[in-house]
Amino acid sequence: MWAKCDDRNDLPNNHEYSGTPDDWFSDTILPGNYTGVSFDFFVNWKNYSLSDEIWIKTIVDDKNKYWPHTNKSSLEHDLYKCESKQYVERLGSFAKLCNLNLKYQLFKESKDWGNSPQPIVTAAINSDGKIASTNQKSLRDIKQDIQRLSGGIVNVGEKGLTYSPTTLECYLSRGSGAAWPGDVDLIILDKNLIPLAILEYKKNTKAPTYKNHVPISQETLSRYYPKPDKRKYDRLAILRDFLKAHFKKEIPIFNIYFPTWKGSTYMKIEHIIGKVGHLQANPENVTLRPLPKDKREMLRITMSVLTMI
Distance from C-alpha of 35 to C-alpha of 13, rounded to nearest angstrom: 27
Render pLDDT for 20-51 as a digit per residue (tens, 0 to 9).
999 999 999 999 999 999 999 999 999 999 99
What pLDDT sits at residue 197?
A: 98
Q: What is the mean pLDDT of each run of 10 residues along the chain (309 residues)?
A: 95 95 97 97 98 97 94 95 95 98 98 97 98 98 98 92 97 97 98 98 97 97 97 98 98 98 97 98 98 97 97
pTM higher than the cut 0.95: yes
What pLDDT sits at residue 1?
A: 85
What pLDDT sits at residue 133?
A: 98
Q: What are the DSSP E strand ranges found in the chain?
A: 3-4, 35-44, 49-59, 101-107, 120-125, 131-137, 163-164, 183-189, 195-204, 253-259, 266-275, 278-290
Distance from C-alpha of 87 to C-alpha of 90, rounded to nearest angstrom: 5
Q: 165 with 174: CB under 8 angstroms? A: no
Give the start-to-end residue ranges of the domains of the chain.
Answer: 40-183, 190-308
What pLDDT sits at residue 61?
A: 94
For the chain, state the CA radius of gyration. 19
C-alpha distance from residue 111 to each of 47, 179, 184 (Å): 36, 17, 26
What pLDDT sits at residue 159?
A: 86
CB atoms within 10 A of CB 22: 12
C-alpha distance from residue 84 to each of 81, 91, 183, 209, 230 (Å): 6, 11, 20, 42, 34
